[in-house]
Amino acid sequence: MINCFFLGVEGGGTKSRALLADEDGKIIRDRSGKALNYHAIGEKQTKANLKELIAPLLKASNGRGIKTVFGLAGLDTKQDWKIYDGIIKSLLPRNAKYKIVNDAAIALEAKCPVISKEAGIVAIAGTGANVYGRSRGKTIRSVGWDFLLGDEGGSFSAGLKAMHAAMRSWDGRMPKSVFEKSIPKAAGAKNIEGFYHKLYKVWREDPQNIKYYIASFSHLVDEAILKKDKAALVICDREVKNLSRGIEAVARRLKLSKKAFCVGFAGSGWKMPGLKDKVKKSIKKEFPGVYFSKNEDNSGVVGAIQLARAIH
């Protein structure tokens, strides 16, 4: 008979995932769900989505000795923690032990386990971007201030830059770029003027999803890089600088200049051709002691399970 279960939850702005593991760490249930960032969908919908995600897993555990870690996007302030805590507490059994952290913390644990005293940094390039590091109990973050204040390096940033390039190509402010045709086509518009009106219609009618709509165009940058489009290559170089500077800022503040430390990468944004290799080269030049995670396939929810197993 199993006396204790471990529940790991990864909640992002577009999707979520939960794992239920037994005492030996064996995964016995795996579920995918909807967005859990209350900034984007509101508290009521976040609670409904989280309940739908974890209710079957709680039922499978029969409420016996649940230890759980929630890694959530949008958890940046004490007020955010208070809101998420209220939602989670209302859904868990009274005897459950739980911890709520930013999704970057579970991504770090998945890529560069730091339950020990080792130092690690994770650079996330998803819809947004976030750089998070830990060394000897101290945590530091950079970037990740959402799309209005600083998500440089994520899919939103790349998608927006591609849109800007399309407009500049069209009105003559820069040499012709493939974005002038690929952006309207991806939007289902006949031309740039049609795209212009469609974009602002989305902004008016569905403002809470504008970030995700713009991010959905980022794959066009990947395609344009392979075609050696000059505008796309410039976008890639800018994102290299943005993400490298974020990692460097965290490393400096953790005083890792002369130490060995791990850097891991998470998020679909790292699929951009050349991005990861160029960032690695940049970081290695500044920090000779850096080494890179070999846990490339580990998702954040795996880190949540690992952190849950450390709860006493």
> Which residue type does 275 have?
L
Average pLDDT of the segment spanning 273-300? 93
The DSSP bridge pattern shows strands 16-21 and 5-11 to be antiparallel
pLDDT-derived band at 236, boundaries 50, 70, 90: very high
**41-76 core/surface letters (b: 16 or more CB in 10 A; e: else):** beeeebbebbeebbeebbeebeeebbbbbbbbbbbb
What is d(CA 251, CA 286) in angstroms, rounded to the nearest whole number? Answer: 10
Closest CA to 21 of 56, 59, 62, 67: 67
pLDDT at 140 over 80: yes
Q: Which of the pair, 124 or 25, is modelled with greater confidence?
A: 124
Percent of the chain topping pLDDT 90: 74
Where helices occur in 133-274 by DSSP H, the ranges are 146-149, 155-171, 179-187, 192-205, 210-215, 219-226, 230-253
Give the pLDDT of residue 302.
92
State the CB neighbour count (10 A cutoff) for residue 82. 10
Mean pLDDT of 59-65: 80
Cβ–Cβ under 8 Å, residues 41 and 208: yes
Classify residue 193 by burial, with Cβ atoms within 10 Å: 0-12, 13-18, 19+: exposed
Parallel/antiparallel/unpaired status of strands 66-72 and 5-11: parallel
- Span 143-194, pLDDT tens digits: 877 777 778 899 999 999 999 999 999 999 999 999 999 999 999 999 999 9
Asked if residues 54 and 69 have their Cβ atoms less than 8 Å apart, the reply is no
- Mean residue pLDDT of the chain comes to 92
Mean per-residue pLDDT, 68-96: 93
Q: Where are the beta strands (DSSP E) in the chain?
A: 5-11, 16-21, 27-33, 66-72, 97-102, 120-125, 129-135, 138-142, 261-266, 290-292
Q: Is residue 86 scored above 80 in pLDDT?
A: yes
| Global pTM value | 0.84
Give the per-residue pLDDT at 63: 65
Per-residue pLDDT, averaged over 290-297, amounts to 89
Q: Quick check: 1 pLDDT over 60?
A: no
Question: Tell me: the pLDDT tens digits for 91-120?
Answer: 999 889 999 999 999 999 999 876 445 799
Whether CATH 3.40.50.620 fits 114-294 = no
Block residue for tokens 């890179």: 292
Domain locations along the chain: 5-113+298-308, 114-294
CATH code at 5-113+298-308: 3.30.420.40
Q: What is the DSSP letter of 128?
A: S
Tell me which DSSP letter residue 184 carries: H
Helix axes 230-253, 275-286, angle to 10 degrees: 40
Residue 222 pLDDT greater than 60, yes or no: yes
Rounded-to-integer distance, Cα 92 and Cα 270, Å? 35
Average pLDDT over residues 21-38: 92
Predicted local confidence at residue 116, as pLDDT:
46
Confidence band, pLDDT 50/70/90 cuts, at residue 273: very high
Which residues does 129 contact at the CB level (< 8 Å), separation at least 6? Answer: 123, 143, 144, 151, 152, 153, 154, 157, 242, 243, 246, 267, 269
Joined together, the tokens standing for residue 148 give 């209005």
CATH topology agreement for domains 5-113+298-308 and 114-294: yes
